[in-house]
Amino acid sequence: MRAIQAPFPATRLRRTRQSEGIRALVAENTLSPSDLIWPLFVRDGEGVEEPVPSMPGVLRRSVDKVVEAAREAHALGIPAICLFPYTDAANRTADCSEAWNPNNLSNRATRAVKAAVPDIAIMTDVALDPYSDTGHDGFVVDGKIINDETVEALIKQALSQAEAGVDIIGPSDMMDGRIGALRAALEAAGHKDVLLLSYAAKYASAFYGPFRDAVGAADALKGDKKTYQMNPANTDEALRCVERDLSEGADMVMVKPGMPYLDICRRVKDAFGAPTYAYQVSGEYAMIMAAAENGWIDGDKAMMESLMCFKRAGCNGILSYFAPRAARLLAS
């Protein structure tokens, strides 16, 4: 649908841009703290906040500090946090069994946040990479990622997360058949209200580099993830992934990375109308921060513009390391 336009000078599009108030009246999209999900890195210890060098301003936090961050997020109106564990080398093994240890870092953080800040939603990642000695999201046999055995392990991981009290499970592993298998296992175990936010269109991207530093997977990872994550050249395949995951029981879907993939966000939203999220990943964050620290761009403005663009592209929300900074700015 197009607005009817008289020829110039009856139509002067600059009339609607003349002041802050008029611009706000005609704004087609808005950004609010309730659009944001804040990813947090969890590590062992107490009272620890350790900077991640490739992500200026981002910290690995011990569980007590994660609780503080969750409190801060809730006060800022951020509805959800997403937990990523930085696992000790000793707990990264070929069988990945730490992934379903009820007392692993992720589950301990979940229980602590639930007890202290019950109203914030907790999301966790389902994938084996924080617990594997290969850095891959699935089991590796003879140099290949084995799909079906990996899905069995993902079920155990997801059930232990649900048991700990997670609200939203985010399978980021890109194995085939995992959404259906996870949904069936959650239902059978009585976890009927646990949401699945599928990393449905997840690309094999160079923009995950700083994240792999943050969770300590960079050194272990040999090769790439191209046999399970998507080729950046493809769009139709993303729609097939999303359709498949929705049909298997995903409640929400994600496109990842974010900024280079806004066309995918738009097509996914238009095709399915499902709750759609983008992950503004570590490399996107690092780029904006690096340019801002060099004085080459205005960091606050670039941050807000990047987040608004996700809304314009049709996203319901954004996972972003900028979440608390953006929420503070929106409140000021």
| Beta carbon of residue 26, minimum distance to ligand PBG (angstroms, whole number) | 34
172 binds ligand PBG (CB under 6 A): yes
Sign of CA dihedral 30, 31, 34, 39: positive
Residue whose tokens read 């080459």: 296
CA 323 to chain CA centroid, Å, is 11
Q: Which stretch binds ligand PBG (CB under 6 A): 18-26, 144-152, 205-213, 239-247?
A: 205-213
* Bridge partners, 145 (sequence order): 140
Q: Which stretch binds ligand PBG (CB under 6 A): 59-67, 123-131, 286-294, 300-308?
A: 123-131
Q: Looking at 88-194, which runs of residues are DSSP E strands?
A: 121-126, 140-141, 144-145, 168-171
Q: Which stretch binds ligand PBG (CB under 6 A): 29-37, 95-103, 121-129, 265-273?
A: 121-129
Q: What is the DSSP letter of 318?
A: E
* Bridge partners, 36 (sequence order): 318
Nearer to ligand PBG, 74 or 199 (CB): 199
86 binds ligand PBG (CB under 6 A): no
How many other C-beta atoms are found inside a 10 Å radius of the C-beta of residue 70? 26
The span from the CA of 207 to the CA of 255, in Å, is 13
Interface pattern 258-297 for ligand PBG (x via CB under 6 A): -----------------------xx---------------
Round the CA-based radius of gyration of the chain to a whole number and report it.
20
Q: Which of residues 44-63 bind ligand PBG (CB under 6 A)?
A: none
Q: Looking at 203-301, which runs of residues are DSSP E strands?
A: 252-256, 276-280
| Binding residue (CB under 6 A) for ligand PBG from 208, 228, 261, 322 | 208
| Beta carbon of residue 190, minimum distance to ligand PBG (angstroms, whole number) | 27
How many other C-beta atoms are found inside a 10 Å radius of the C-beta of residue 66? 27
| Residue of 65, 114, 225, 256 marked catalytic | 256
Is 256 a catalytic site residue?
A: yes
Nearer to ligand PBG, 172 or 198 (CB): 172
Which amino acids are annotated catalytic?
A: 202, 256
What does the binding site for ligand PBG look like in residue numbers (CB under 6 A)? 125, 127, 129, 137, 172, 208, 211-212, 225, 281-282
